[in-house]
Structure 1
Amino acid sequence: MTAAPAGRPRTARWLLRLHRPALIVWACLVVALAALLLALRGPLTDAAAEGWRQYNACQGRGRCTYDQDAILRYKDFAGYANLALNALPVLVAAWAGAALIGRELESGTARLAWTQSTSPARWLTLRLALPAAAVTVGTGLLCRLHRLAWAAGDGRIDTAKRWYDLLTFNAGGPTVAALALAGLAAGTLAALLLRRTLPALIAGAVATLGIAGAAALLMPRLWPAVTLTSALDEDYPNVDGLVVDQGLVSATGARLPIPDCDTGAGCSAAYDRAVGYFTTYHPVSHYWPLQLTTTALLLAVTGLLAAGSFLALRRLTGPLRTAGAAAGTPSTDTLAGAAA
């Protein structure tokens, strides 16, 4: 009656000891980035906004002074924050492939654990549970702070990135948190398939970059876009948003691609068929629909990668059972098969 309650605290303490170095590094990274984002939301944004106010007031007045250093400082630190948050999923994938799973498989300590009181499936679950929670909480906090920092400068700083800038879009919502979980699963799967630390590190990072690239390509098409048209004697409709497509419109309403005007004949023929221009784009009101649909897609990919990890683990271990899960101990043949 008392064994189960006592086992849970022991398991929690064991997980904390197991992941303590990585948790300390992760906590320091999150705190450092949080401090940077809070500075961006407050004094850095205020100083840059004042610098831009001074600069705009100078227009038409000839020589005057403005705080250029504050403007450049904001631009640099905002760029660093964007790059850091977008790099987190790759770092998570590399750590999962190398230190979390790959190193234990390469050294043989994982197989030793499987012969004791932990089944392979439970071993993998325990190793992923706490990192997944830490990644979710940490990236979720940073995404919220990034969104607040960006909103503080929106409309006040002329060089601030727009919401549809890819790095800004990813860092300001749950997309990067979902991508970090996908990186954790990708690194785990790479380690289980390769069973070597360095190859798993590289494969996990490359796979995460591939997932991020695919998500960026699919993201504009995950939610219906808005189309605006203009007459042929005008230019393309002026929009403030994420442009998906542009081209010409024929008299029947058909959309024509932008013509190749390197050859005069082809260009003239294309414009002879057209009566106007069109622009398909996502306005700012589509920000959260795009964020949520992209996050859902990435979480689905994470689920597939996690399922693949358990399948790869089962293939690696075969019918291996622990002493606590079945009567007796694993057979010599089973352990030999796992080692092979």
Structure 2
Amino acid sequence: MTAALSAPARANTAPRQIRWLLRVHRPALCAWTVLVVGLAATLLWLWGPLTDAAATGWHQYHARCWRLTPCRYDQDAILRYKDLHQYTTVAVLAVPFLAAAWAGAALTGREVETGTARLSWTQTVSPVRWLATRLTVPALLVTAGTGLLALLHHVVWSAGYHRIDSVKPWDDVPTFYSGGPIVAGLALAGLVLGALIGLLLGRSLLALCSSALAVAPLWIAVHMTLPHLWPVATSVSGRRASPSYSGIKVAEGIVTSSGAHQPTSACTVDISPGCQALNDRRGAVGFYTDYHPYSHYWPLQLATTGALLALAALLAGLALWLVRRRTTGGRAGGTAALGGGAGTEAGTGAGAGAAV
């Protein structure tokens, strides 16, 4: 076994590890660069020429086609804007799934499966520093790229809102998630989650599928938690009307004679004699709706992003603890191996140790 590295040598391993990481994962880096640059260029095109052309087309439509007579307007510009806006939205929302799948398959799963990770630990760098390098560099690239795309998507939405009829409102689910820092937080959490799954499974293909699928329940949990991360606004009405609101509805129900709000999802307005009789028995004097208006857009985005960053830090700490625990156990027992590929990896690690 090689002797322990000196302090200067250990200090120089970090830059070498980063260079080696970028060289080994150069295809993924190139693909990520092409994706970010291509989407950014498309979003800039949408923001400028396509927004103006589509807005002009809609103006022509409203000015000339309000009667049942033949009219001409730039329908091609409207359809082109609509299609590209939908495609870029889907592409931005797909980034967390891509980051998780790549991290599980290539960042940790493949190196554990082939034994490359254990070879690095015995010759050049400690397991904890090895994992920290693999998480830090991709995390910076993924977060910066996704944040840029989300910013451009929000700028495109802002330029077309109220000018183009096909632009969705701010509380539309795809529009909300693709136009703020939440999607960058999801991409970072997905990256760390994928790396952790790769360490646990130790099989690149299995980790790829599992990591991508794991982002779906994460996103569902975020969607269910998000409305409760910021205080809601409340709209109240009497029995003869329903509360007026605009935004993300959180809860609704009846207002009792004591002023208490009683949540319910049935008969929140007297739309029928049956509902009227039910609300009479409930003692309802009005109705209420808890919701988030547009002024809560950025507080919701930032609060949810903060929660995702905390989750990513927790997952990273769990992955570091897992590596430290398993490698310490492996040194004590002499036979432990990371991941599920114990047989092939243990043999590869033993051969590498003998060669050293």
- Opposite residue 291 of structure 2, the aligned amino acid is Y
Q: CA offset at residue 59 of structure 1? A: 5.4
CA contact (8 A) 2:329 2:336 kept: no
Which residue of 2 is the match for residue 23 of structure 1? 29
Task: Say which is worse superposed, 63-72 or 202-211, in terms of deviation.
Answer: 63-72
| 1:196–1:164 CA distance, 2 compared to 1 (3 A) | same
CA contact (8 A) 1:166 1:216 kept: no
Q: CA offset at residue 269 of structure 1? A: 3.1
Which residue of 2 is the match for residue 303 of structure 1? 313
1:314 aligns with 2:321: no
Taking structure 1 as the reference length, the TM-score comes to: 0.89
Which residue of 2 is the match for residue 325 of structure 1? none
Report the RMSD for the aligned CA atoms in angstroms: 2.3
Which residue of 2 is the match for residue 113 of structure 1? 120
The CA deviation string for residues 258-295 of structure 1, in whole angstroms up to 9 with x for no partner, is: 4269xx88634323232222222111111110001000
CA distance in 1, matches of 2:121, 2:14: 19
Which residue of 2 is the match for residue 287 of structure 1? 297
CA distance in 1, matches of 2:205, 2:9: 40
1:236 partner SS: coil
1:94 aligns with 2:104: no
Identical aligned residues as a percent: 52
Q: CA offset at residue 234 of structure 1? A: 2.2
Matches within 5 A, 1:109-188: 109-188=116-195
CA distance in 2, matches of 1:106, 1:293: 38
The CA deviation string for residues 113-133 of structure 1, in whole angstroms up to 9 with x for no partner, is: 111121111111122221111
| 1:15–1:227 CA distance, 2 compared to 1 (3 A) | same
CA distance in 1, matches of 2:305, 2:320: 23
Matches within 5 A, 1:174-323: 174-237=181-244, 239-256=245-262, 257-259=264-266, 267-272=275-280, 273-319=283-329
2:62 partner SS: helix
Which residue of 2 is the match for residue 337 of structure 1? 336
Q: CA offset at residue 52 of structure 1? A: 1.4
Q: CA offset at residue 157 of structure 1? A: 1.1
CA distance in 2, matches of 1:82, 1:311: 36
| 1:200–1:60 CA distance, 2 compared to 1 (3 A) | closer
| 1:176–1:157 CA distance, 2 compared to 1 (3 A) | same
Q: CA offset at residue 91 of structure 1? A: 0.5
Which residue of 1 is the match for residue 19 of structure 2? 13
1:33 aligns with 2:39: yes
CA contact (8 A) 1:318 1:338 kept: no
CA distance in 2, matches of 1:58, 1:246: 42
CA distance in 1, matches of 2:261, 2:37: 50
The CA deviation string for residues 162-194 of structure 1, in whole angstroms up to 9 with x for no partner, is: 111122111111111111110111101101111
- Opposite residue 175 of structure 1, the aligned amino acid is I
CA distance in 1, matches of 2:15, 2:127: 21
2:123 partner SS: coil
1:70 aligns with 2:80: no
Aligned length, in residue pairs:
326
CA contact (8 A) 1:259 1:266 kept: no
Uncovered stretches (5+) of structure 2, i.e. residues with no partner:
1-6, 343-356
CA distance in 2, matches of 1:101, 1:4: 22
The CA deviation string for residues 144-172 of structure 1, in whole angstroms up to 9 with x for no partner, is: 11111111101111221111112211111
CA contact (8 A) 1:33 1:142 kept: yes
| 1:53–1:144 CA distance, 2 compared to 1 (3 A) | same
Q: CA offset at residue 89 of structure 1? A: 0.5
- Opposite residue 237 of structure 2, the aligned amino acid is S
CA contact (8 A) 2:229 2:300 kept: yes
CA distance in 1, matches of 2:117, 2:21: 15
